[in-house]
Amino acid sequence: MEIRYPNGKVFKPTKNESKLKNYQYGNRGMTLEEDLNESNEYYLANKIAVIHKKPTPIQIVKVDYPQRSKAVIKEAYFKTPSTTDYNGVYKGKYIDFEAKETKSKTSIPLQNFHHHQIEHIRQVIACNGISFVIIRFSTTEEVFLLEGRFLLQFWERMENGGRKSIAKDELVQYGHQIPLGIHPRIDYLKVIDQIYD
């Protein structure tokens, strides 16, 4: 299947995106996205917050129908560049965040983020929304929440010729580690309470 951006450019997945994700977290086989979706379902069921994963807007333009039950999408386009992964409302405040995983034990590459995502985070912060990233080191199963303002600083450092990744030590210093739990699995709103209360 061929997917294109709104400008017609063909979408080519990065090495990480093209591999099927089958990470093991204590034999749970859960990805960061699955853990966050489960956590958001817990928040919703308990009337704590309404936060959902944003669907990626895709326009299908070519489909093969060998049989009605076996339709195959052959060509599709991203309607617009995606912004961040999740958004919603918590305690009357707009929340908007991106989720990223890395196999590295020491840093997360800034190339994992896209310019339009950085601009979106900047706009959310400018409108007094709460914007952040959740980063999981998949090999050590450590999860960090990094406020958007710090991500913007690291991005600007890279644009000015500096380091092209965020070191784990910097996440420890500027971010907040989220211990994994059961209900919810990733209680990131507890960290938001610590930051904004």
CA angle, residues 173, 179, 184, in degrees to nearest 5: 135
Alpha-helical regions (H) of 23-147: 32-45, 115-126
Q: 187 among the known binding-site residues?
A: no
Q: 159 among the known binding-site residues?
A: no
Q: 83 among the known binding-site residues?
A: yes
The contacts of residue 181 (CB under 8 Å, 6+ apart) are 187
Rounded distance between C-alpha atoms, residue 47 and residue 50, angstroms: 8
For residues 95 and 60, the answer to whether their CB atoms sit within 8 Å is no
Distance of CA 147 to CAs 12, 22, 33, 76, Å? 29, 28, 18, 34
CA angle, residues 14, 24, 54, in degrees to nearest 5: 50
Q: 173 among the known binding-site residues?
A: no
Q: Which residues are annotated as a binding site for Mg(2+)?
A: 83, 85, 98, 117
Annotated binding site: 83, 85, 98, 117
